[in-house]
Amino acid sequence: MSPLDSDIAHLLAGSMVLLSFLLLYQDRMFALLNVFALHACALACSVAWQAYLQRAPHLFITALIALLFKGVIIPVALRRIVVRLGIHRSLDTVVSIGPTMLFGIALVGLSIVVMLPVTQSESEFVREDLAFALSVVLLGFLMMVTRRNAVSQVIGFMSLENGLVLAASGARGMPLVVEISVAFSVLIAFIVVGIFLFRIRERFDTVDLRALDLSRGETP
């Protein structure tokens, strides 16, 4: 395996971490959707590169699924939902962007500290991939925690799932059936969430999730 190959793998997986940070930074709805589409494209490239390196053709299908579903269909559908609901202006964050970024950096550090010692016997690809995938997952969680808007929480969830696929592509021997079922379950989750969005909107006239807390009788 030449150094260039591993450099490109590093580049693609690292760019996913970077795009996760961009997702955290965005405060406009459409820009957020665009960055999410880019995130999925980076995932597709990364998985395709793994497929080429590992000579594993089924990973190409995974890459294609990522590109089609998460790079095209879900962003387009989310954009239509956002336009329909007329919520393209509001992106409320719980914590302001600066501390969120610092917290994100800390999470990346944490995932590296956790992953690198655990995977000592593995090859460098697996180690890097797993460290980056864990940070993408944690950043997805962070995004879900720090956003009040339901649509951006959906995006946090989807980016988290991208991180899972990245981890799966690095670890050899993940069967295709599992990946396809994961992809479809995400799609179904997306549909359910979309229906919920409309329901929340119908009932509370907003997609701000604080309204749900109030309705449950909790004080925010």
Partner 1 sequence: MSYDWLIQLAQTALVLALAPLLSGVTRKIRARLLRRQGPSVLQPYRDLLKLIRKETVIAENASWLFRAAPYLILATTWVAAALVPTFATGLSSLDAAADIIVIVALLGTARFLLALAGLDVGTSFGGIGASREMLFASLAEPAMLMAVFTLSLFAGSTQLSSISAYMLGPGYSVNISLALALVALIIVSIGENARIPVDNPATHLELTMVHEAMILEYSGRHLAVIEAAAAVKLLLYLSLIACVFTPWGTAVAGAGALAYAIGLIAWAIKLAALAFLLVVFETAIAKMRVFRVPEFLGIALMLGLLATILLFVAKVSR
H-only helix segments in 147-171: 150-170
Tell me the C-alpha distance between 150 and 154, whole Å.
Answer: 6
Phi (first) and psi of residue 102, to 5 degrees: -60, -45
Among 98, 202, 205, 218, binds partner 1 (CB under 8 A): 98
Tell me the C-alpha distance between 102 and 104, whole Å.
Answer: 5
Among 76, 83, 116, 192, binds partner 1 (CB under 8 A): 116
Nearest to 90 by CA among 157, 147, 51, 139: 147
88: DSSP letter: T
State the minimum distance, in angstroms, from the CB of residue 138 to partner 1. Answer: 13
Among 132, 139, 140, 159, binds partner 1 (CB under 8 A): 132
CA atoms within 13 A on the CB side of 128: 17
Q: Where does this chain touch partner 1 (CB under 8 A) — which range of 2-10, 29-37, 163-171, 210-218?
A: 2-10
- Token pair, residue 177, equals 């059936």
Tell me the C-alpha distance between 66 and 75, whole Å.
Answer: 12
Nearest to 142 by CA among 111, 113, 166: 111
- Token pair, residue 181, equals 């079922």
Q: Give whichever of 117 and 173 is closer to partner 1, judged by the CB atom.
A: 117
Q: Is 10 in the site for partner 1 (CB under 8 A)?
A: yes
Q: Where does this chain touch partner 1 (CB under 8 A) — which range of 85-93, 94-102, 185-193, 194-202?
A: 94-102
Q: Is 72 in the site for partner 1 (CB under 8 A)?
A: no
Q: Is 11 in the site for partner 1 (CB under 8 A)?
A: yes
**Strand, coil or helix: what is 147?**
strand
State the minimum distance, in angstroms, from the CB of residue 92 to partner 1. Answer: 16
Q: Is 4 in the site for partner 1 (CB under 8 A)?
A: yes
State the minimum distance, in angstroms, from the CB of residue 104 to partner 1. Answer: 8
Q: Give whichever of 8 and 212 is closer to partner 1, judged by the CB atom.
A: 8
Binding region for partner 1 (CB under 8 A): 3-4, 6-8, 10-11, 14-15, 17-18, 21, 25, 97-98, 101, 104-105, 108-109, 112, 116, 124, 127-128, 131-132
